[in-house]
């Protein structure tokens, strides 16, 4: 019964994604009439990717299929696979020429952004190895893959991104840096890592708060010596 309900939920989520309605991550909706016309093969590829069916994806890619076919707002097979943690499918799509930097057209969210957010370290590695850019920010708020990995406490991913030119000083639209986020959530190892890569302890949000102020506010007293005064 549980298996059937899980599959039913995945089918519902797939329907939402194919109408570009975000389920938590892909945030916005459109109707079926807003979608670009997809061939049957392209639609089948998206479905197979979403289900995590590697064999079906392999079979479909043997035929002439647009591997970067996307919804109106840019949800590609690679983006779906990266978000859901389907490492082997991500590897296959990249091997067959999927664009690692093709993001959502409404806000610029990329496969790397979603993989970093979800803590999929091996997928982050694959994307970076295939030319994914760690620097572009989400257009509506200025967050980056580095911000999302920091928020989730994914230290190894933070290290990977910093080693691939992610900017430790980059700010969101409200002036937050990754260091603000690490301080707020009490991620000591990430705080140290960001400082090692040039993060600015004195950076202020638009509200005037520094990373050390957020650490104090949240009761992370062990971080104050690192971030103080």
Would you kindly state where each structural domain of the chain is located, as residue ranges? 28-133, 150-229
* Spatial separation of the C-alpha atoms in residues 149 and 187, rounded to whole Å: 11
Q: How far from chain centre, in Å, is Cα 21? A: 16
Q: Give residue 38's pLDDT band: very low, low, confident or very high (50, 70, 90).
A: low
pLDDT grade, residue 43 (50/70/90)? Answer: confident
User: 28-133: which CATH architecture?
Assistant: Alpha Horseshoe (1.25)
Q: What is the pTM of this model?
A: 0.83
pLDDT of residue 58: 96
pLDDT band at 41 (very low <50, low <70, confident <90, very high): confident
Task: For 150-229, give the CATH class.
Answer: mainly alpha
Q: Summarize pLDDT for 64-113 with one digit per residue, the tens.
A: 889 998 877 788 999 999 999 999 999 999 999 999 999 898 899 999 99
CB 143 within 8 A of CB 137: yes
- State the average pLDDT over residues 157-164: 98
Please answer whether residues 206 and 174 qualify as being in contact, where contact means their C-beta atoms are separated by less than 8 angstroms. yes
Helix and strand tally (H, E) in the chain?
13, 0
To the nearest 10 degrees (0 to 180), the angle between helices 87-95 and 54-61 is: 10
The torsion defined by the Cα of 211, 165, 193 and 102, in degrees rounded to 10, comes to 80
- Token pair for residue 229? 């005064």
CA–CA separation, 127 vs 125, rounded Å? 5
**CB-CB neighbours of 215 under 10 Å:** 26
Residue range 114-143: mean pLDDT, rounded:
96
> 28-133 with 150-229: one CATH topology?
yes
> What string of DSSP letters covers 97-134?
T--TT---TTT---HHHHHHHHT-HHHHHHHHHTT--S
Low-confidence winner among 7-16, 127-136, 180-189 (lowest mean pLDDT): 7-16
């Amino acid at each position: 019964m549980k298996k059937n309900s899980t599959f039913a939920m995945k089918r519902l989520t797939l329907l939402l994604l194919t109408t570009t309605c975000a389920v938590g991550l892909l945030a916005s909706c459109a109707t079926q009439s807003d979608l670009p016309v997809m061939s049957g093969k392209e639609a089948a590829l998206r479905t197979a990717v979403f289900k995590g069916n590697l064999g079906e994806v392999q079979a479909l890619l043997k035929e002439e299929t647009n591997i970067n076919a996307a919804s109106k707002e840019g949800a590609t097979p690679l983006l779906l696979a990266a978000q859901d943690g389907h490492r082997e499918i991500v590897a296959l799509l990249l091997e067959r020429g999927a664009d690692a930097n093709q993001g959502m057209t409404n806000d610029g969210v990329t496969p790397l952004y979603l993989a970093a957010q979800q803590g999929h370290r091996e997928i982050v590695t694959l994307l970076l190895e295939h030319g994914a850019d760690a620097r572009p920010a989400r257009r509506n708020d200025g967050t980056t893959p580095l911000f999302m990995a920091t928020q989730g406490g994914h230290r190894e991913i933070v290290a990977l991104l910093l080693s691939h030119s992610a900017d430790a000083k980059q700010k969101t639209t409200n002036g937050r840096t990754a260091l603000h986020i690490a301080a707020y959530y009490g991620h000591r190892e990430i705080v140290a890592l960001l400082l090692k890569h040039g993060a600015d302890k004195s950076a202020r949000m638009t509200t005037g708060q520094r990373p050390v102020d957020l650490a104090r506010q949240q009761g992370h007293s062990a971080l104050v010596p690192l971030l103080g005064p």
